[in-house]
Each structure stands twice: as structure tokens, then as C-alpha cells.
Amino acid sequence: MTITDNRYLLNNGIDPLALVEKYGSPLYVYDTAIIERQYKRMEAAFSVPDLKINYACKANTNINILKFLKELGAGLDAVSIQEVELGIRAGFRPEDIMFTPNSVAIDEVSAALEFGVKINIDNISIMEQFGHEHPEVAVGIRINPHIMAGGNSKISTGHVDSKFGISIHQLPHVLKVIEATGLHVEGLHMHTGSDILDANTFLLAADILLNTTHHFPHLEYVDFGSGFKVPYRENDIETDIEEVGARISERFNEVCKEYGRELSLIFEPGKFLVSQSGYFFVKTNVVKPTPSTVFLGVDSGLNHLIRPMFYNSYHRIENISNPAGKPRIYTVVGYICETDTFGSNRKIAEVHEGDILCMFNAGAYAFSMASNYNSRFRPAEVLIHEGKDYLIRKRETMNDILRNQVEVELHTEAMAKV
Ligand SMILES: *Cc1c(COP(=O)(O)O)cnc(C)c1O
């Protein structure tokens, strides 16, 4: 979003205030141009014979976002059987969907097999069960290289006591299971966690995986997961995708030569593709000065955007109703009956009640983590594409709150006798 003549404008000159007027507040808005820019950047960064970019759809599961990424040429990374089904409904071919669950029962893995999608196994127990039942089905295995990375403990998945993947130290055990069951391993996978800041950490982890390829003679692909950091603040650091791309490609091509076959190189970005494409617009309900700070109470809360409270993540907040206002210091809070602070002591152009605030980086892990806590409705979602706006999810109503609740008549005779 840019400021022109003291007005905030989205791509193609779309006025966000007009969108809020039209669809109401709070409102999620996504811009396809930014998704496309990020996808193409990633595509251009790697020079390998076969690059696959699988969109990690848990970041934003609106089916229109999935379809748009499919049109760009992406595959899909699904972490639940429901995401697998969503991918099929969005039109992805089963072979372009990779199912990478954690802590699921063999039934869910078998259900994915029915859909014909690619399966990535993340523990030795499932390897054994799956290998016994389906030695003919080619699968990937998720290895944990134990490289400490990630923005915070909830999202970093590579450390030694992480629940994710099969420890690299258990490689001898893995090889024994393959020998005993005949499990057909066609892929090696890792996903070390979000927010990898430097190319070196990434390469260190990648190298650990690449150094094991000679143990697996039937490989078709190596999947390096994700962890690309995007900027949240102005002048924030971000993963230098071009540098990571150049260095990984060089190393990967060497490894393929040693291995004797061209392997596919797969990535599974979520945040990198969609985070910056999203904006979350909220209305200021109250301006509340207290002895310590001035609170801005908005018509949203941790029920709609939980990242600041759950991960301590930073989302830029700007007053799009009054861009030229004198900057003041505010603490932006939600309306939920818990402390749900979107941002503390932020410098924001002077805010009046009724002003619309914009929270940036609202495309990933924002709506997809929203809930109905406090029996509040989840917001509407709008997609903008080539100068037009499309409603892609309706705002909820009371029917959505009550759907699936079963009202029963309780018989209280026994109680009455007491
Ligand atoms: C969540 C997840 C991703 C995407 O992570 P981002 O930080 O959003 O890019 C990729 N792969 C797997 C297996 C995941 O669980």
C-alpha cells in the first residue's frame, strides 16, 4: 500500500477506505499482484533443472488463494487430510500435492493415499506401518537436521527436542526399517522452522540433508521446506532469497552430479508467498487515555489476528483515515475479554474514534488462525486482482455461531428428587 496525496492506495489505485465502506469492518484484503511478485521472485532465485514451489496452504486457506497459486504453477503443501481435500477441490492434481502431517494416525496417511497425493512421513513408527502395508508406494521422509533456527520457540522446528521429523541421529534405524519393510523412499524432506535470517543457517541444514542422499538409491526429489522471513517493519531484515537461491542451486547441482541423476528441488513457502499480500482493516471504537498510555480499542481482537499475542509478532499499524495527522503514541488493543494487544506504544498518525487502522502482513497465519472466541463473527475476506475487488468470504452471522450446536432437552427428574 502506498500513500499518494495523503491517501493510502492499494494496487491499481484501489481505495482501501472504499473497500471498508463497501464490505464493512473488520476486513481482510489480499492483493494477487503481491502473491505473484513473491512467487516469481522465488522462481527466479533458483537455477536448477526442476524446481517445484509447493504453497504451504495453512498460511491462508481461502480456496481462491489456492487457485491463484495453482494458476501461477505452484504445487501444494498440506498438513492435514482436510487441506489435502481442499487442494483437490481447488483443482490441484493429486501428484502436485504433498501431504506432510505431524502426529497423525496411520488412517489419515492411508486416506491421503486414497486421494493419490504424495506422502511425507515424519516418524519411524509410521514408516514401519506404512512400509509393511505399502512397500510399493513411493514416499518421502522428513528428517530433522537439528539446526536451531526460527523466530520463536513455537515455530522453530529443527532443534534437538523438537517433535518434528525423524532425527538425523536415527539414520541407522531409518535404514534398517527400509531394509526390513522394503519401504520405497523417493524423497528427503526437512522444514527447520520459520524466520530463517541468514543463508548460512539454511545452507548448514540443507547440507546435512544432502550429505545423506547416497544412503537412498531411489530418490526423485529433495524438499527443503520453508522458513523464508519476510519484512514486518520498515527496513526490516528479510531472507535474501536471491542469495539463498544462488548458493543452494550451486550446491544442489553438484550433489545431483555426484548422485548420478537430476533430482527435483522442492520448497514449501507459506509466509513468503502470502504474508505481505494481506491487509487487515479495523475500526477504532474508542480512544481511551489512561495515566500510562492512550489505548485504541478496535473492533477486532485475538479472535481475528492472534499472531501478536501468540507469537509476539510485530504487525505494522497505520491510520489510513488520517495519514497526515500528527504522530502520537498509542497502544492498540482488541475487544476480547483477555489482554489482546496488537501493538504497544506505536507511533500512529493522530487517531479519532471511527478511524480505520490497517495492520500489515495480514496474509499469512491471520484469517487461517481466526476463531469465534467471545462468539464474535469472523471477518469477510476480499481479493483484489487487476484493479477489481472480489468478495471471497462472507462475514459470518449468528447462524455460523450456532451451526452444529445441538440444543437438547435435559431431563432433570433425578435432580428434582434430591
Ligand atoms: C508451515 C509449514 C511450511 C510453511 O512455513 P512458512 O514459514 O509459512 O513458509 C512449510 N512446510 C511445512 C511442512 C510446514 O508445516
The whole domain housing 253 covers: 101-267
pLDDT, one tens digit per residue, over 78-136 is: 999 999 999 999 999 999 999 999 999 999 999 999 999 999 999 999 999 999 999 99
Residue 26: asked if its preceding bond is cis (omega within 30°), the reply is yes
Paired strand residues for 298: 284
Average pLDDT over residues 326-336: 98
Q: Is the pLDDT of residue 194 over 60?
A: no
Question: Is the separation of the CB atoms in 312 and 151 below 8 Å?
Answer: no
Whether 408 is covered by a domain: the verdict is no
| Interval between CA 265 and ligand 1 midpoint (Å) | 16
Residue 161: predicted pLDDT: 73
Which ligand 1 atom is at minimum distance from the Cα of 58? 1
Any atom of ligand 1 within 6 Å of the Cβ of 225: yes
Confidence of residue 390 (pLDDT cuts 50, 70, 90): very high
Specify if 87 maps to a domain. Answer: no
Q: Which atom of ligand 1 is nearest to the CA of 228?
A: 9
Band of residue 156 on the pLDDT scale cut at 50, 70, 90: low
Q: Is the pLDDT of residue 418 over 60?
A: no
CA of 38 to the centre of ligand 1 (A): 16
Residue closest via CA to ligand 1's atom 1 equals: 56
DSSP assignment of 206-275: HHHHHTTGGG-TT--EEE----B----STT-----HHHHHHHHHHHHHHHHHHHTSPPEEEE--SHHHHG
Rounded to the nearest whole angstrom, what is the distance from the C-alpha of residue 384 to the centroid of ligand 1?
A: 25
pTM (whole model) above 0.75: yes
Q: Is the C-beta atom of 229 inside 6 A of ligand 1?
A: no
Residue 162 confidence class, pLDDT cut points 50, 70, 90: confident
Q: Is the CB of 100 under 6 A from ligand 1?
A: yes
Query: Structural domain tally of the chain?
Result: 1
CB 58 near ligand 1, within 6 Å:
yes
- Name the pLDDT band for 195 (thresholds 50, 70, 90): low
Examine residue 344 and state whether it is found in any structural domain, yes or no: no
Residue 394: what pLDDT? 98
Ligand 1 atom nearest the C-alpha of 155 is: 7
Closest CA to 399 of 368, 369, 378, 370: 378
Residue 417 has pLDDT above 70, yes or no: no
Other CB atoms within a 10 A radius of the CB of residue 359 amount to: 26
Which pLDDT score is estimated for 201? 80
Using pLDDT thresholds of 50, 70 and 90, give the confidence band for residue 204.
confident
Cβ(77) – ligand 1 distance below 6 Å: yes
Percent of the chain's residues with pLDDT above 70: 95
Q: Atom 15, ligand 1: which residue's CA is nearest? A: 79
Q: Cell numbers for 194, please give them.
A: 520459520
- Ligand 1 atom closest to the Cα of residue 157 is 15
How many whole angstroms from 270 Cα to the centroid of ligand 1? 6
Main-chain phi, psi angles of 98, to 5 degrees? -110, 125
pLDDT bucket at 192, cuts 50 / 70 / 90: confident
- Residue 343 in domain: no
Measured from the CB, is residue 369 less than 6 Å from ligand 1?
no
Provide the CATH number for the domain around residue 200: 3.20.20.10
Distance (Å) from CA 295 to ligand 1 centroid: 34
Is the CB of residue 346 below 6 angstroms from any atom belonging to ligand 1? no
Residue-level pLDDT at 324: 96
Does the residue 118 lie in any domain? yes
CA–centroid distance, residue 226 to ligand 1 (Å) = 5
Read off the C-alpha cell for 156: 522453530
Tell whether 362 is covered by a domain.
no
Q: Does ligand 1 lie within 6 Å of residue 131's CB atom? A: no
Residue type for 49, please? P
Task: Tell me how far the alpha carbon of residue 406 lies from the centroid of ligand 1, in angstroms.
Answer: 36
Instruction: Specify the higher pLDDT residue, 30 or 147.
Output: 30
pLDDT range class, residue 200, cuts 50, 70, 90: confident
Q: Determine if ligand 1 sits within 6 Å of the CB of residue 83.
A: no
CA-to-CA distance for 340 and 281, rounded, in angstroms?
A: 16
Residue 150 in any domain: the answer is yes
User: Which strand (E) or helix (H) includes residue 307?
Assistant: helix 307-310
**Per annotation, catalytic residue among 57, 256, 337, 358:** 337
- Pocket test of ligand 1: the residue of 79, 104, 230 to mutate, having most ligand atoms within 8 Å of its CB, is 79
256 is catalytic: no
How far apart (Å, rounded) are the C-alpha atoms in residues 300 and 298?
6
Name which residue sits closest to atom 4 of ligand 1, judged by CA: 270
| Sign of the four-CA dihedral 62, 65, 66, 67 | positive
Indicate whether 249 pLDDT > 80.
Answer: yes
Cis peptide before 291 (omega within 30 of 0): no
Radius of gyration of the chain (CA): 24
Q: Which residues 6+ apart lie within 8 Å of 118 measured at CB?
A: 95, 97, 98, 99, 139, 140, 187
